[in-house]
Structure 1
């Protein structure tokens, strides 16, 4: 096989820079995933309800701005939105260690940062998904998503593995500085991407309320999109519940130290990496549509192993279920993202959607 064929999109300079920016940003995000709840659990000694509320604040962004975010981002250059939200998230996270050192940190401070971070992440994710088709073209979406998912999976392994010892050495609040640094470098690297979209003309855009209404009508009109939206809502609701109590369970019930918790979450990253490597092949063999529902249906039941675990070796065996969850989730998201991005390409009117 020619070297150019093996490299694929890696020959594209701008895609390589997006890949590197993704690695840095996701590394910071994976550290947040472990360190932010541990600030509440270990540093502030909060109860389970407060930890759950902290996670809810992180997820509340999608409820608050999920509908208008797409319409707002559609009026802006996607690359600029990615850069500005990366830098703003980095700044908000850096306030936590500063407040901790000044003895001002409270759970309400964490709630505020989590909410701001969650809202900014919604805008970043919308811009990121919308920018990729512009950068690589519709025909390369599955390859592009697979390579980006592989990078995210590698950081899912390295992030918690690095975060565990860091939390143990310098504490959870100071560890968030590493997250802030990763997102800052991600934003700065994205500035070097040369390919930019034309700025949308405000005069040619419909009213914001009308865009939201049209978007909802478009989703509701087609059974496939309705099923994806409903499935995502149910899956994410219960995933957030599971992950929120998982940290409390590992720290207080199992008695794991930050390093051990990091190893458990690194196992999830291994599953995600395997999923990214298999995603293109599985989508081609099974079909992009069936993969979207089949991947999670096959892998999610194994997460029941974790609540059955006890202190000792059984918790690491139970981590296989978490790795399976990540494997299925990545395969599903690669297929689903490619499907949605193809529908949102310029000139697509949805006529071919089932």
Structure 2
């Protein structure tokens, strides 16, 4: 029994982190079900085209652009961020349930779908900004990579099981009814978060320029600035891609909901592999080079998607390979960059910088979704996907001339509000225990 226990990651032996990790894991599976079910509701139940799909994705992501900065400032003045996360989970469950209820009485409309997508997106902003503080309240710095690897391992598992489950539920039931599974995951997440009580950082005092302080700090920090620029580039072009992908796969490639879910789920096994090796890659080449490698692996393979044509087995093989390699890359990016950002940001600014991050990076998502819908209508689906996949790879041009490729270890957290000139690009592997070293693991960006 003792050898078996010793193989369990140290963080999972701690009850509070275990409940937090389980809550995240269950919710992530539900999110993946919604990721395929909501677009299929629009396409199959309401007959949405490229323009409507662009509006739907925009409604879902617009809160990140409009609300992240003020939400970060508001949350930094709150003492109990965990309670905000619980309230956000409960509200999301109610909003999601409203869709199958409206469908049951033949009252579901695109307007309701847009409204629910916008409000769920607003709840996600509150949840994720609070989550940045809750993570560092539960995980010591020496285990940031291990904690991020565990969370992203769950995310990878959700990528594997969620689309397949979502596609199967949509095929067996109606697409709106499949959303009930997502609502249940939010309720379970809220119940688990209610059973932990971490010591959270004290609220920050308000002062002149309080709302924009996190944004100004991030833009003055050279490493943060380069990482935000790279992430923003990926967010914009990747949302062009995802806005049209379901429509492209079902109409031009002729894939059924079940087949699409299976391909995506199978390809996402790469995410499990990425989460499993991320710690070792960080240990071997350093945190910065891992970020660079991850962005390359994340973006370049997606070029295979607009390339897909011909016989069905060939199309399935190309989509699987694109999803597999990209999933490996996104895990490397999320685990390494998430750990680096957690180490760089001071506690007093954590929620405001998280809000600024969502404004700068996630704010590009609705713009990408609108561009995808407009270009998809004007140029066609396949040409727009070529633009989206090629454009995403341009993110590497922000990182290569920056200090990121030279960073080997996690820097000391900045204690003042003044940005450090950048992390010390000291050579050698990170001495902190990693999730995947012998001692023992999160969108898609």
Q: Same fold (TM over 0.5)?
A: yes
Range into which the TM-score falls when normalised by the shorter chain? over 0.9
Aligned equivalents of 2:108 and 2:8: distance in 1?
50
Per-residue CA deviation, residues 254-280 of structure 1 (Å, 9 max, x unaligned), is 111111111122034312111111111
Mapping of residues 1-354 of structure 1, within 5 Å = 3-4=5-6, 6-76=8-78, 77-197=80-200, 200=203, 205-207=205-207, 210-310=209-309, 312-318=312-318, 319-346=320-347, 348-349=415-416, 350-351=419-420, 353-354=422-423
Per-residue CA deviation, residues 283-308 of structure 1 (Å, 9 max, x unaligned), is 12121122223311244211111112
Q: Is the 1:28–1:159 contact (alpha carbons within 8 Å) kept by the matching residues of 2?
A: yes
Aligned equivalents of 1:313 and 1:297: distance in 2?
26
State the SS of the aligned residue for 1:289: helix
Aligned equivalents of 1:124 and 1:220: distance in 2?
23
Aligned equivalents of 1:68 and 1:336: distance in 2?
24
Aligned equivalents of 2:75 and 2:38: distance in 1?
27
Aligned equivalents of 1:94 and 1:49: distance in 2?
25
Aligned equivalents of 1:300 and 1:47: distance in 2?
26
State the SS of the aligned residue for 2:9: helix
Aligned equivalents of 2:321 and 2:52: distance in 1?
28
Aligned equivalents of 2:153 and 2:333: distance in 1?
13
Aligned equivalents of 1:177 and 1:211: distance in 2?
40
Post-superposition offset of 1:312: 0.6
Per-residue CA deviation, residues 283-338 of structure 1 (Å, 9 max, x unaligned), is 12121122223311244211111112235112221121122112111111111111
State the SS of the aligned residue for 1:342: helix
Q: Which stretch of structure 1 is more off in the superposition, 162-171 or 61-70?
A: 61-70
Per-residue CA deviation, residues 81-133 of structure 1 (Å, 9 max, x unaligned), is 22111111111111111111121111111111111111111111111122111
Aligned equivalents of 1:348 and 1:142: distance in 2?
21
Aligned equivalents of 1:229 and 1:264: distance in 2?
31
TM-score, normalised with respect to structure 2: 0.75
Post-superposition offset of 1:194: 3.0
Post-superposition offset of 1:213: 2.1
Aligned equivalents of 2:134 and 2:214: distance in 1?
18
Aligned equivalents of 2:137 and 2:148: distance in 1?
13
Q: Is the 1:14–1:195 contact (alpha carbons within 8 Å) kept by the matching residues of 2?
A: yes
How many residue pairs were aligned?
350
Q: Which has the higher helix share?
A: 1
Post-superposition offset of 1:6: 4.8
Give unpaired runs (5+ residues) of structure 1.
Answer: none
Q: Is the 1:40–1:46 contact (alpha carbons within 8 Å) kept by the matching residues of 2?
A: yes
TM-score, normalised with respect to structure 1: 0.94
CA RMSD of aligned residues (A): 1.8
Post-superposition offset of 1:64: 0.9
Post-superposition offset of 1:57: 1.3
Q: Is the 1:300–1:321 contact (alpha carbons within 8 Å) kept by the matching residues of 2?
A: no
- Shift in alpha-carbon separation, 1:45–1:124, aligned structure 2, 3 A: same
Runs of 4+ in 1 over 2 A off after TM superposition: 1-7, 194-200, 344-354
Q: Is the 1:267–1:320 contact (alpha carbons within 8 Å) kept by the matching residues of 2?
A: no
- Shift in alpha-carbon separation, 1:125–1:268, aligned structure 2, 3 A: farther
Aligned equivalents of 1:299 and 1:151: distance in 2?
18
Aligned equivalents of 1:298 and 1:152: distance in 2?
17
More contact order relative to length (CA 8 Å, sep ≥ 6): 2
Post-superposition offset of 1:166: 0.6
Post-superposition offset of 1:224: 0.8
